Amino acid sequence: MGKKDFSLEAALQQLKPFDTDQIKFELEQYATSAELGAAIITHIQDDVLDKRVLDLGCGTGILSCACALAGASIVVGVDCDEDALALARTNIAECDVDHVVDFVRCRIDDNAQLPLRNAFDTCVMNPPFGTRKKGIDAAFVRAALSLCDVVYSLHKTSTRAFLLKRAHEWGAAADVVAELRFDLPKTYAFHADNSRDVAVDLVRFRRVADELPPPVVSMAEPPPPATRWAPRGRGRAPRGRGRGRGRRR
């Protein structure tokens, strides 16, 4: 596993998480932690640097910020929630990446056509896991594959077999780039535990031609991280904010 970049993590820790009064469980809103955001970036550096990046279900924009800080040429974050996007706007200003990141409000599901043309290189996303709305995780991956050749997506490890099998039907090869664990703080009233460790996979989907044989599933070693970004902002990194995302089963 690549070394973590703590300056990126510190930068991401300044971001505002979901407002607890506005958080919407039906959208499966759980903030991606700064730690997880930074960990993801270390695994996908080459597909972000100087690339046009899409972030579906961007929420408060932590992955959009992370990609911008990691050198993406443009990032477009997409979400349906107005409150989350308003926070995302302040977060990109906080990270000083508002000249790289833009947001678009629209719905992402099987019935909706995304209002974007095929002009992106890479999608990096932390979609809903599909616990509340069955199949929404797959709908996000397919939407991403309709616009990008390469899609990095975070999924519960328990759904791995299903996703890797379905990827071929979507014209994509899939492999698990990293197995990550993270601590999820109690976010909603229906959570029984104060926190819970959930195993997640960072899955890389790659669009392939139809005639190619079924994808080979492999556990690739991640590339070493580059350290292009510098810590920014006010030099303050409050701990314990915006950490965790997920749900109990």
Partner 1 sequence: MRLLTHNMLVSNAKGVSEAEGYPLALEVTEHRREETEFDVETTRKTMETVKYDALRGAARAVAIDLPEVYDGDDADLLRKVHEALCDVHVIEGCLVCPKSGRRFPINNGIPNLLLHEDEL
Q: List Cα–Cα distances, 158 to 190, 196, 249, in angstroms.
A: 21, 15, 11
As measured in angstroms, the least distance from the Cβ of 191 to partner 1 is 29
As measured in angstroms, the least distance from the Cβ of 166 to partner 1 is 24
As measured in angstroms, the least distance from the Cβ of 93 to partner 1 is 10
Q: Is the dihedral of CA 98, 104, 109, 114 positive or negative?
A: negative
How many Å apart are CA 16 and CA 62, to the nearest integer? 9
**Which residue is it, tokens 């970004």?**
229
Structure tokens of 166?
A: 């379905």
- Which positions touch partner 1 (CB under 8 A)? 52, 73-74, 76, 80, 82, 85-86, 89, 98-99, 102-107, 111-117, 119-120
How many Å apart are CA 165 and CA 224, to the nearest integer? 28
| Closer residue to partner 1, CB minimum distance, 24 or 52 | 52
| Closer residue to partner 1, CB minimum distance, 124 or 198 | 124
| Closer residue to partner 1, CB minimum distance, 39 or 147 | 147
| Closer residue to partner 1, CB minimum distance, 117 or 249 | 117
Pair 79, 53: CB distance under 8 Å:
no
| Closer residue to partner 1, CB minimum distance, 116 or 226 | 116
As measured in angstroms, the least distance from the Cβ of 198 to partner 1 is 30
As measured in angstroms, the least distance from the Cβ of 29 to partner 1 is 16
Characterize 142-177 residue by residue with b for buried, 16 or more Cβ atoms within 10 angstroms of its Cβ, and e for exposed.
Answer: bbbbbbbbbbbbbbbeebbeebbeebbebbbbbbbb
As measured in angstroms, the least distance from the Cβ of 126 to partner 1 is 20
| Closer residue to partner 1, CB minimum distance, 61 or 225 | 61
How many Å apart are CA 54 and CA 66, to the nearest integer? 12
| Closer residue to partner 1, CB minimum distance, 92 or 184 | 92
Pair 160, 214: CB distance under 8 Å:
no
How many Å apart are CA 47 and CA 66, to the nearest integer? 13
As measured in angstroms, the least distance from the Cβ of 63 to partner 1 is 17
